[in-house]
Structure 1
């Protein structure tokens, strides 16, 4: 096992930060002059399309959502809304405690690290400036690929970019988007992060996975020990 592919939200990010999303959407809605509930409904309802790139960039997305909500922002207002939206997205993707040191430890141990995220434009546009970018060898984003988990093409793409057969990849995630079932079918070895210390995190999973991997950990900081045990028992 030479590589590890991680989910992003709720796996590398702080699971509790997802509770901030409603407020960040409300802040963007206020800039656009849209009632927050209406903006939330439009954004939430468009998630399946937004994460495969159908709404385009953040600028395109906010312009389209504003139109669907009956607003027609001028360029200045739209620019302010984009700034607000990116600032909110940064709050939601803050690293979970121990995530960055764990990634550093795994890289130092010789693992190739990949990412497979169902995400919209905000993460892709900001990726290079995040603290994750320098630690991930092969990021794969649904927004760029035009497919979302558990599409087998995403797992194949992650393995190919890592230069490692899927059978030699771990897949680590919190269980949304049927990701572990997809990883298993792709030949990867799935590990569930239960987020037991974040009891509300499960409420934010999209399309939760009925398949439960044999291996699980409560927090990402437990991953190196699990991999060590496996390496010495295999």
Structure 2
């Protein structure tokens, strides 16, 4: 095994931080002048399209969503909404305890590190300035690739960019988006991060995986023992 590919949300990020998403959306709605429930429904409903880049960047996305809600913001209002939206997204992606140190140790052990995330434009635009970026050799984002997990092309892409065959990759995730079944079919070795210490967070997983990997860890630092073994 020569590489470790990570899911992002709920795996490298604090699973509880997902509770910040609704307040973040409400803040953006307030800037745009849209009733929060209306905006949240529009954003939630557009998730499958947003994560494959259907709306474009964050500014274009918010403009399209605002218009679908009957609002045509000025350029200044849209700019303020983008800044507010990015600030909210930063709260949602705060690192989970031990995540950054664990990935750093994995790199020091000689593994290549990859990322495979179903995400919208906010993460891609902010990525270079995040604390995760220096630790991930090859990030692959659904928004940029125009496809989402468990599309086999995504797993092939991250393996190719890492320069290792899929069979030499661990895939580590919390089980949303049928990601482990995708990893297994791609030839990777999947690991479930159970998040048992975070009651209620399973409700945030979209399209949960029916395949349960034999390799499981409760917390990300537990992964080190598995890799060393």
Which category describes the TM-score, using the shorter chain as reference length? over 0.9
**C-alpha displacement at 1:227, in angstroms?**
1.1
Corresponding position: 1:212 with 2:177: no
Partner residue in 2 for 1:90: 90
Matches within 5 A, 1:1-234: 1-229=1-229
Q: Secondary structure at the match of 1:94?
A: coil
Query: CA separation in 2, counterparts of 1:222 and 1:189?
Result: 16
**C-alpha displacement at 1:43, in angstroms?**
0.3
Structure 1: tracts of 5 or more residues without a match: 230-234
Query: CA separation in 2, counterparts of 1:32 and 1:171?
Result: 39
Query: CA separation in 2, counterparts of 1:228 and 1:135?
Result: 19
**C-alpha displacement at 1:217, in angstroms?**
0.5
Query: CA separation in 2, counterparts of 1:4 and 1:200?
Result: 27
1:179-223, CA deviations, whole angstroms, 9 ceiling, x for partnerless residues? 000000000000000001101110100000000000100110100
Runs of 4+ more than 3 Å apart: none
Query: CA separation in 1, counterparts of 2:19 and 2:200?
Result: 9
Q: Secondary structure at the match of 2:20?
A: helix
Q: Secondary structure at the match of 1:220?
A: coil
Query: CA separation in 2, counterparts of 1:174 and 1:202?
Result: 9
Query: CA separation in 1, counterparts of 2:126 and 2:200?
Result: 27
Query: CA separation in 2, counterparts of 1:130 and 1:45?
Result: 27
**C-alpha displacement at 1:66, in angstroms?**
0.3
Q: Secondary structure at the match of 1:172?
A: strand
**C-alpha displacement at 1:226, in angstroms?**
1.1
Q: How many residue pairs end up in the alignment?
A: 229
Q: Secondary structure at the match of 2:225?
A: helix
Structure 2: tracts of 5 or more residues without a match: none
Query: CA separation in 2, counterparts of 1:220 and 1:146?
Result: 28
Query: CA separation in 1, counterparts of 2:143 and 2:184?
Result: 22
1:98-133, CA deviations, whole angstroms, 9 ceiling, x for partnerless residues? 000001100000000000000000000000000000
**TM-score relative to the length of structure 1:** 0.97
Partner residue in 2 for 1:232: none
Q: Secondary structure at the match of 1:170?
A: strand
**C-alpha displacement at 1:228, in angstroms?**
1.2
